[in-house]
Amino acid sequence: MLLQDHIVLVTGAGSGLGLGIAQYCKKQGAKVIVTDVATEKLNEIAQKFDQNDLILRCDVTKATDLVQCKKEILNKYHRLDAVIGAQGIFDGNLPIASMELQHLDQLFDELFNVNVKGYLLTAHVFADVLKENHGAMVFTTSTAAYAADGGGAVYTATKGAIRSLIQQLAFEFSPEIRVNGVAPAAIGNSQLKGPKALNLEHQKQSDIPKDAFLNLFQSISLLQELPDAEDYGALYAFLASKQNKVMTGQTIVADQGLLNRAVLTH
């Protein structure tokens, strides 16, 4: 198995993509540390894991939370092999011209705090333990970092920042730590939430009617089967594993052929 004898931390793993990744990593032999900012989510998923795993509340935008998380991980396992970052907030795909200026100001701070600062702080806090074990970081960007209309301007800016951050961290942490990313496109039953700045914090992408979401996906994608969160797990697992001896500073674009669009034909 890809992750046999690996200790893997997955942030933002209380639901959606992060949970799917964590479950896949466990199936691949890893002992998994599952973290999320929402305690109620962690309570709901506790039965999916066991005493070999660790479930922790952690707000990745707070350095104190990450430091405490690190202490609890080392207390239980005494080492760490990989950090997978999966937290994120969406922006409702709203054009900036449709927002009030004050809402745009708030939206920028909120999304960059979670979508970018959270990864920077995580990288800083866990770099030393990963260096000791020649470990890996795997962060989540998006196809929005490669083409327009994958989100609004602020979400797109955060995902472009993560894509660049992956390259910079791979450079800074080489050769001891491999740093790579995954850029997913559509995710069935996505739990990605909207921002408080736009009063969308109670709305999720999964609230879109399933048939409408599937029809849109199939109209623009070359592959027609809508992937769920765990379908992306193999990409993260490989990049997090000791078996990856060939990649750092790279992002795998997992777009179901979305970006390979027809130009002259329909």
pLDDT at 185: 86
> How far apart are alpha carbons 37 and 20 in whole angstroms?
17
- Which residues are designated catalytic? 155
pLDDT, mean of residues 43-57? 97
Query: How do residues 196-217 score in pLDDT, each as one tens digit?
Result: 888 877 766 556 666 776 777 7
> How far apart are alpha carbons 209 and 118 in whole angstroms?
30
No. of H helices and E strands in the chain?
A: 8, 7
Nearest to 12 by CA among 4, 22, 25, 3: 22
pLDDT, mean of residues 180-209? 76
Nearest to 19 by CA among 214, 177, 228: 228
For residue 70, name the pLDDT band (cuts at 50, 70, 90): very high
> How far apart are alpha carbons 138 and 235 in whole angstroms?
10
Q: Which domains does the chain have, with CATH numbers?
A: 7-254 (3.40.50.720)
Nearest to 141 by CA among 170, 183, 179: 183
pLDDT at 206: 57
